[in-house]
Amino acid sequence: MTPAPCDLGNSKDSLKNSIINHLRFTLGAYVESASKNDWWVATCLAIRDRVMDHATKSRTLHRQSGVRRVHYLSLEYLMGRLLENNLRNSGLYESTKAALGEMGKDLDALLDCEPDMGLGNGGLGRLAACFMDSLSTVNLPAIGYGIHYEFGLFRQEFVNGKQVEHPDAWMRDGSPWKIARPSYRQTVQLYGRVVQKFDDCGHPRSEWVETKALLGLPWDIPIVGYDSHTVNVLRLWQAQADEDFNFQVFNEGSYVEALRDKAIAETVSKVLYPNDSTESGKELRLVQQYFFVACSLADIVRRFKVGYTLPWSEFPSKAAIQLNDTHPAVAIPELMRILVDLEGLPWNEAWKICQETFAYTNHTLLPEALEMWSVSLFERVLPRHLQIIYQINQLFLEGDVEAKWPGDSEKKRSLSLIEERGGKYVRMANLSVLGSHATNGVAALHTRLLCERLFADFYALYPDRFLNLTNGITFRRWLDVCNPQLSALITETIGESWKKNADLLRNLDPHADDPAFRARYAKIKRDHKVVLAKIIEDECGVTVSPDALFDVQIKRLHEYKRQHLNLLNIVTLYREILDNPNADFHPRVFIFGAKAAPGYFLAKNIIHAINAVAAKVNNDPRVGDKLKVVFLPNYRVSLAEKIIPASDLSEQISTAGKEASGTGNMKLALNGSLTIGTLDGANVEIEEEVGSENIFIFGLTVEEVTELRAKGYNPWDYYWANEKLRNTIDWISSDYFTGNAEEFQPLRRSLLDHGDPYLCLADYQSYVDAQAKVDATYKDQDKWVKMAILNTARVGKFSSDRTILQYAEKVWNLPQVPIGE
Ligand code: RUG
């Protein structure tokens, strides 16, 4: 019997019915008495119903047409909230709002019920989320793989100005977006040992025995593209015990003991490691990496086997696998294990398949962020994989390296997959480059430095394998969703096509000269500043004027990002205001948002210092409204969505050569926030696009940094030569701000005694001068607004649709497959 089709129409009335049905039949609630959360869940489910049909259609069409698919492997996805994004992308926002309105509910109020899905640390995880949006939007067959963390990035609170971390139980009440797929559960092996056996034909085979087993349960989250019927999925693996509990122990009465294994197994997907850029060498982290990689590869192989009867040599023509940083790099020996040990392929054939399948994105040049695993740990957790890595290494060093540099042991040392100095470590970055056909950097400067510095020898060996793919952001979330007012003004002015072709934003260029357009643009900015001022009042208890210049630094707290350089300028200004109360200085609000890794002592000291300075400045009657400093707690995607449209100035002030790309810089520029920044990461390309007259560039270049270090950098030289700087540092490290002169000695010592590793002092004067230029420019509001409009108009290059189409063309060789209604 064919069931009656359910009404999944997009009209207001259909949506209304769906929401009511979910309230009644899924949640068991009455319309009259349902809670706000019930309404939010019912609305999500009504939208999910409409989306799932397209997910099934997309999957079926991709399978039937036998096209290559890309599998994006990432340990992090910083998705934020999904409801508004899904509504706007699917064109259901207005009808849903109307449907709820008729039932006396305000959609915008319901949106706030959604907890952020914060399964990432920062830029890398948010990039993965933007890429998922673009993959669906441009109709590419794709699956994202990751971990179903029970706890996302910690929730941050300030107690006496210091960061305190709390668990982020984002899905304590479940999530209406995720769907369990128990029929695709996978089993993963760990630990154990390797034995040599012989198969029926007498060929030697390695067998991994006496292992511990772990189960991976997949949860699918549909990814809705903008104005496209492609709905790809994000598949996240949850770790489960092999058996629910040990029956024998249970029968003997030791109930708690019986459940021990289950609890241990579940820790594997319990929590996201709260690092960004610095790696921790914890066993659990290696187990997490292998767990999700093994589940994902088994899933990919399963699909290849059931979908086709093709020889293994065709595997790369069906599956591309992108490694988001080295975190999933253990996928390379895992695929080798599957092909050689389980499928019996000859080594060379398997290696060719591997290299054709994998591609690797590098996201950092920071040496401390390059993952290395101690050989002894690796051997204990993944003994067979270590053997495979050794074999890959031996063949490589005796083959290509020896051929290119005969007898050169220094080259072998630098290219080896094993670091031998100071203990033995597996170098995951070298493994990733070697096991892939393509390695990309994430901005032009970063890629140049990869080729010239980090991977210089690999580049000399395999120049064709390296390419640049400058990062991007999805303009839907970072303009359409977070700034619908500006989005509407743009659409009214140049039409709607910019949402799919961001280069068309250039058509706004001439409107920068139109005073009426400028006035409307400026009003939208001011309205957002009023909203943010209210949030600041609520969260920080500080009253700020929306007419002040909102100066924003939002990103992870890290020395290389130099929040402490920003602080040096703030304290300098504070002193100037006290010394010269009548100076013509436009009122400014410095706004920070940042989490520090819980074990990163100096980063936490910097947070404390900023909060301590804020407390003094904000309560000093001599300062009044001229200067305010606020540190908004618990920075996350949904807060970024409120801050970015309200920002006037975007702080992108990393030491040149340290920030691989940055993507906050793109989001802020798109929303008309002018950049004050160094020539680092994607700032370089932002300057090229917006024009040097529409950005405030300062500081040393990469080459100058190298030169200065080669000469021997001594921060004390700058300290003694610059009285303002000296006074500023001395003031911060006095007892003035907290009553305790010891409090910020770690910061002072880092800047002076420990050599100022990120060159804050070297860039200080140039930064202060650039800030003075910002002040002067802001006073000319016509000029400022014009510059802001030109930023919005000229950053089309930074759409993640462009980035993803470049990956599809240059790395994955992937067709676009539009899905019909
Ligand atoms: O620090 C980088 C950013 O510069 C970059 O924009 C982002 C996305 O490519 O990735 C960040 N990143 C690098 N996050 N983690 C790492 C090191 O693993």
For residues 622 and 581, what is the distance between their CA atoms, to the nearest angstrom?
8
Cβ neighbours of residue 762 closer than 8 Å, sequence gap 6 or more:
700, 708, 713, 715, 718, 756
Task: Please name the amino acid found at residue 313.
Answer: S
Mutate to test the pocket of ligand 1, among 278, 654, 661, 807 (most ligand atoms within 8 A of CB): 661
**Domain segments of the chain as ranges:** 8-65+88-114, 66-81+116-471+806-811, 525-794
Based on the residue annotation, tell me whether 786 is a catalytic residue of this protein: no
- The neighbour count for residue 248, using CB atoms within 10 Å, is 9
With a cut of 60, say whether residue 575 has pLDDT above it: yes
pLDDT confidence of residue 199: 80
With a cut of 80, say whether residue 368 has pLDDT above it: yes
pLDDT confidence of residue 1: 47
- The pairing of beta strand 418-419 with beta strand 627-631: unpaired
Average pLDDT over residues 556-578: 98
pLDDT confidence of residue 206: 95
pLDDT confidence of residue 281: 76
With a cut of 50, say whether residue 356 has pLDDT above it: yes
pLDDT confidence of residue 242: 82
- Taking the CA of residue 660 as reference, the ligand 1 atom at the shortest distance is 4
- Taking the CA of residue 663 as reference, the ligand 1 atom at the shortest distance is 6
Beta bridge partners of 119: 77
Average pLDDT over residues 369-373: 92
With a cut of 90, say whether residue 109 has pLDDT above it: yes
pLDDT confidence of residue 712: 98
Within this chain, domains 66-81+116-471+806-811 and 525-794 share the same CATH topology: yes
Based on the residue annotation, tell me whether 561 is a catalytic residue of this protein: yes
- Given the cut 0.90, state whether the ipTM is greater than it: yes
pLDDT confidence of residue 6: 74
- The neighbour count for residue 297, using CB atoms within 10 Å, is 24
Average pLDDT over residues 661-674: 98
CA 282 to centroid of ligand 1, rounded, Å:
20
pLDDT confidence of residue 244: 58
With a cut of 60, say whether residue 2 has pLDDT above it: no
Q: Phi then psi for 386, rounded to 5 degrees? A: -65, -45
Residues 275-317: tens digit of each pLDDT: 866 667 789 999 999 999 999 999 999 999 997 789 999 999 9
With a cut of 90, say whether residue 146 has pLDDT above it: yes
179 to 49, 71, 240, 473, 796: CA distances (angstroms): 12, 19, 16, 27, 35
pLDDT confidence of residue 255: 73
Average pLDDT over residues 797-804: 98
Residues 678-732: tens digit of each pLDDT: 999 999 999 999 999 999 999 999 999 999 999 999 999 999 999 999 999 999 9
Residues 588-599: tens digit of each pLDDT: 999 999 999 999
Q: Is the CB of 664 under 6 A from ligand 1?
A: no
Q: Please provide the average confidence, as pLDDT, over all residues in the chain.
A: 96
Beta bridge partners of 214: 188, 241
Q: What is the CATH topology of the domain spanning 525-794?
A: Rossmann fold (3.40.50)
Residues 30-87: tens digit of each pLDDT: 999 999 999 999 999 999 999 998 999 999 999 999 999 999 999 999 999 999 999 9
Q: Is the CB of 120 under 6 A from ligand 1?
A: no
CA 652 to centroid of ligand 1, rounded, Å:
14
CA 381 to centroid of ligand 1, rounded, Å:
27
Q: Is the CB of 325 under 6 A from ligand 1?
A: yes
CA 442 to centroid of ligand 1, rounded, Å:
9
pLDDT confidence of residue 3: 55
The b/e string for 538-568 (b: 16+ C-beta within 10 A; e otherwise) is: eebebebebebbbbbbbbbbbbbbbbbbbbb
pLDDT confidence of residue 251: 65
With a cut of 70, say whether residue 392 has pLDDT above it: yes
Matching CATH number, 66-81+116-471+806-811, of 1.10.10.10, 3.40.50.150, 3.40.50.2000, 3.90.79.10 = 3.40.50.2000
For residues 815 and 810, what is the distance between their CA atoms, to the nearest angstrom?
12
Based on the residue annotation, tell me whether 555 is a catalytic residue of this protein: yes
Q: Which of 120, 217, 114, 119 is nearest to 173 (CA)?
A: 114
Residues 218-265: tens digit of each pLDDT: 999 999 999 999 999 999 999 999 875 555 655 666 777 777 778 888
CA 119 to centroid of ligand 1, rounded, Å:
15
Average pLDDT over residues 381-398: 98
Based on the residue annotation, tell me whether 267 is a catalytic residue of this protein: no
- Taking the CA of residue 556 as reference, the ligand 1 atom at the shortest distance is 1
Q: Whose CA is nearest to atom 8 of ligand 1?
A: 124
CB 609 within 8 A of CB 737: yes
CB 545 within 8 A of CB 587: yes
